[in-house]
Amino acid sequence: MALSSIFNKVMSGITENFKILFFGDITGRQGRNAVKSYLKGLSKAPDFVIANIENASHGFGLTKKNYDELADAGIDCFTSGNHIWDKKDVYEYIENAEKLIRPINYPHGTKGLGCRVFDVKGNKFAVINALGRVFMPPIDSPWTIVTDKIRNLKEEGIRHIIIDFHAEATAEKICFAKYLAKEFNTDENALVKCFFGTHTHVQTADEKIYCGMAYITDVGFCGAEESVIGMEFATSLKRLSTSIPERYEIAETPIAQINAVEVEINNSCAIAVKRVNIMVDNNESEVNVNSRGEVCCEG
């Protein structure tokens, strides 16, 4: 770009906007197929697509085959959670999987990375994945680790940071998001542009822009609609009603639901957030939207 063009752009106050699409936990083949169908049906691709994939391979973990499949479908970054280690071949490919991150607060020396920096339209975007500790397996505290990482990224000149906080308790997600926003953001200048809660597979209706940061407590999940958070009803019922251990089985139904969040940001802050909640018939080539439609919240 010519110097005169850059000067005119700066003087006119024009800022570049970026559209980000984040898919809630992809669960099993139904979730994978639904997400691929949804992306294929978009009239215009987002600038950056992220998906939580810790349940993508038959409900537990991620195989190399499914990693390649989803990467080819147009997903730019894969976040995960406590189930990332459930498929043993992850240990063989995670070091070389340039789109995949695991929670940053696993102990030092754990394979893989908890943060990656991506190029989006010539701009550096950092994505951090972290695990919560309330009602979750023992893990290092995310509070200090994530805070230190954000400070390091800021020193490196990163201006756009996205968080996937994989946690059970809504209070922990809300508190952590508010803490990071107050620590690093103002309404006009946000370093942490997006905070997405994941893990529960149930989409919350509290999307908002807080201190310049797009926020939702839980994005939800992508998988079989007639299920118990993606799993077979019968096995879930037996396990939950008797307390006797029972292996969960992925639900096999053609109708899948897609839970996602669309966010628009500029160089300074998030400017719009929209929750996506639709149905996809995996037996059809077209994407079908059910009566729930989409809910939009713009700031």
Domain boundaries, position 73: 16-225+252-298
Whether 118 is covered by a domain: the verdict is: yes
Q: What gap in Å lies between CA 131 and CA 167, rounded to an integer?
A: 6
pLDDT at 284: 59
Q: Quick check: 82 pLDDT over 50?
A: yes
Residue 101 or residue 290, greater confidence = 101
Strand bridging mode 208-210 / 255-265: unpaired
Across the range 94-98, mean pLDDT stands at 97
Segment 193-225, tens digit of pLDDT: 999 999 999 999 999 999 999 999 999 999 999
Strand bridging mode 294-298 / 270-281: antiparallel
Helix axes 170-184, 142-155, angle to 10 degrees: 30
Q: What gap in Å lies between CA 130 and CA 161, rounded to an integer?
A: 13
Whether 28 is covered by a domain: the verdict is: yes
Q: Per-residue DSSP letters for the chain?
A: --HHHHHHHHHTT----EEEEEE-EEBHHHHHHHHHHHHHH-SS--SEEEEE-TBTTTTSS--HHHHHHHHHTT--EEE--TTTTSSTTHHHHGGG-TTB---TTSPTT-SS-SEEEEEETTEEEEEEEEE--TTS-----HHHHHHHHHHHHHHTT--EEEEEEE-S-HHHHHHHHHHHHHHHB-SS-BSEEEEEEESSS---S--EEETTEEEES---EEEESSSBTTB-HHHHHHHHHH-------B---SEEEEEEEEEEE-SSSEEEEEEEEEEEETTSSS----TT-EEEEE-
Whether 246 is covered by a domain: the verdict is: no
Whether the Cβ atoms of residue 60 and residue 88 lie closer than 8 Å to each other = no
Q: What gap in Å lies between CA 278 and CA 261, rounded to an integer?
A: 11
Residue 285: band (very low, low, confident or very high) from pLDDT cuts 50, 70, 90 = very low
How many structural domains is the chain composed of? 1
Segment 168-196, tens digit of pLDDT: 999 999 999 999 999 999 988 999 999 99
Q: Quick check: 4 pLDDT over 50?
A: no
∠ CA 162-17-99 to the nearest 5 degrees?
40
**Residue 210, strand partner residues:** 213
pLDDT at 295: 42
Mean pLDDT score of the chain, rounded to an integer?
91
Backbone angles phi, psi at 130, to 5 degrees: -140, 150
Whether 8 is covered by a domain: the verdict is: no
Segment 40-57, tens digit of pLDDT: 999 999 999 999 999 999
Active site residues: 83
Task: Evaluate the CA torsion angle 278, 199, 94, 100 in order and state its sign.
Answer: positive
Whether 244 is covered by a domain: the verdict is: no
Task: Evaluate the CA torsion angle 273, 170, 160, 62 in order and state its sign.
Answer: negative
Q: Quick check: 286 pLDDT over 90?
A: no
CATH of the domain at 215: 3.60.21.10
Amino acid at 283: N
Amino acid at 282: N
Q: What gap in Å lies between CA 103 and CA 199, rounded to an integer?
A: 12
Whether 49 is covered by a domain: the verdict is: yes
Whether 93 is covered by a domain: the verdict is: yes
Whether 202 is covered by a domain: the verdict is: yes
Q: Can you read off the two tokens belonging to residue 18?
A: 């970026």
Q: Can you read off the two tokens belonging to residue 93?
A: 């490919």
Backbone angles phi, psi at 242, to 5 degrees: -110, -15
Q: What gap in Å lies between CA 127 and CA 281, rounded to an integer?
A: 31
Q: What gap in Å lies between CA 273 and CA 38, rounded to an integer?
A: 18
